[in-house]
Chain A
């Protein structure tokens, strides 16, 4: 047996789960287990208690209401990937999910689990970053809502306290027909991104950029919004030169060098991926550059 011993709890309601977390020392929440369990197997994580959310009522599901999509934290990635509602209202998420692990891991892995784990190369937090998602967090003391910008605190660290549970992700939707694209470079499909880029684009009929949202993964401590590139795009008539200039602007990032890629190579990839994502997002608005 790989992990250190722990006591397993399978609460049926969110109240029960929150009460358990409030009373137990050194406890961790188990969602899909596709990141936590490997860390437990390696004994990077040693806990006394595991609170499994799988049997908690009402934590999985997708609801679209008032221009927002509310996704229950325990919704499995595979269910999001094949949800007609996601495909219709938040197609960037669907495209990003195709890069998330493998089918066997997406069958188990959840969106809430990915957010809580907060791997800097992860795709789902990057989608939350460009969509300005709001994360609903529950504890025995009640509920609070945190903007994604405040949620991602530092390297693999979120605003979720040890007695709290991510219960839902609320994604403000973009207008129907908006452009979107997720591009990623990894050694092999399903591997961690060396660099990935997410783009949302709202173009007027005359190609004027009404709104643009860009983020990178794999280059910082978490998803990085590219505010300067967004500013350069907004209000401009979208063409190849504008897209190239915005892509070039992301080269100001200071990524790490590691065994997978040098900082210079990551900067190069960032520019290439952002350009491709902008090009493909525009194509989805019927604009070819």
Chain B
């Protein structure tokens, strides 16, 4: 079996593992590190459910081998929640605006929007919709997701301003 030892940081915590080369980052997170917040849908880069941040940039964790993340800093949906255990601003906006139904796609969408709002704190609705093209949701029709993203942007800007 072709294995390799890697070390990476996930949500601020350092992990060292011996992994098979063919293990995807998504499967490493879920099966080896018990971080099951990252969901796996299509496993070929279409649905976006497995989106995580690698060194601050969104990526499909089903299209990244764990060995490629050696030395990287990974952030998953578990890393969004403040230490106090409450929801963060984006997550709270999702709850308030009915931005999810079954919730399967939500972790990936939260990661996509985390990057989008970081780089563009005041997006237009069209920019939000464009940013979401890489994430499929089969429940909501996206209306609640878009409202949640715009609401979160407003709240984050208000926080920054205060």
Bound Cα distance A107, B58 (Å): 7
Whole-angstrom distance from the CB of A286 to the nearest CB of chain B?
Answer: 27
Whole-angstrom distance from the CB of A109 to the nearest CB of chain B?
Answer: 9
- B2-A7 in contact (CB<8A): yes
A34 at the interface (CB under 8 A from B): yes
- B68-A2 in contact (CB<8A): no
Q: B1-18: which have CB < 8 Å to A?
A: 1-2, 4
> Contacting chain A: which of B22-30, B78-86, B99-107, B148-156?
B22-30
Q: With a 10 A CB-CB cut-off, give which of B1, B24, B27, B116 has the most chain A CB atoms.
A: B24
Report if A105-B67 is in contact (Cβ < 8 Å); known contacts: A1-B27, A5-B1, A8-B4: no
21 contacts between A and B (CB under 8 A): A1-B23, A1-B24, A2-B43, A6-B22, A7-B21, A8-B2, A8-B4, A8-B21, A30-B68, A37-B64, A41-B63, A42-B44, A101-B134, A102-B133, A102-B134, A103-B58, A103-B115, A104-B134, A108-B57, A108-B59, A189-B133
How many residues on chain A are close to B (CB under 8 Å)?
31
B interface vs A, CB < 8 Å?
1-2, 4, 20-24, 27, 43-45, 48, 51, 54, 57-60, 62-65, 67-68, 70, 112, 115-116, 130-131, 133-134
- B63-A34 in contact (CB<8A): yes
Bound Cα distance A231, B134 (Å): 39
Q: When each residue 166-204 of chain A gets 1 if its CB lies under 8 Å from chain B and 0 otherwise, what string results? A: 000000000000000000000011100000000000000
Residues of the A chain whose Cβ atoms lie less than 8 Å from the Cβ of B65: 8, 33, 37, 50
Q: A37-70: which have CB < 8 Å to B?
A: 37-38, 40-42, 50, 52, 54
Chain B interface SS verdict (over half): mixed
Besides A105-B63, A189-B133, 20 more A-B contacts (Cβ < 8 Å) are A1-B20, A4-B22, A5-B1, A6-B21, A8-B21, A10-B67, A10-B70, A30-B68, A33-B63, A33-B64, A37-B45, A37-B63, A41-B43, A50-B21, A102-B134, A103-B116, A104-B58, A104-B60, A189-B130, A190-B134
Whole-angstrom distance from the CB of A27 to the nearest CB of chain B?
Answer: 13
Q: With a 10 A CB-CB cut-off, give which of B23, B54, B116, B133 has the most chain A CB atoms.
A: B133
Q: Which residue of B lies closest to A2 (CB)?
A: B43
- A5-B63 in contact (CB<8A): no
- A104-B43 in contact (CB<8A): no
Residues of the A chain whose Cβ atoms lie less than 8 Å from the Cβ of B67: 8, 10, 52
Residues of the A chain whose Cβ atoms lie less than 8 Å from the Cβ of B130: 189
- B112-A104 in contact (CB<8A): yes
Bound Cα distance A4, B68 (Å): 17
Report if A41-B62 is in contact (Cβ < 8 Å); known contacts: A6-B2, A8-B2, A107-B57: yes
Q: Which residue of A lies closest to B58 (CB)?
A: A104
Bound Cα distance A1, B30 (Å): 12
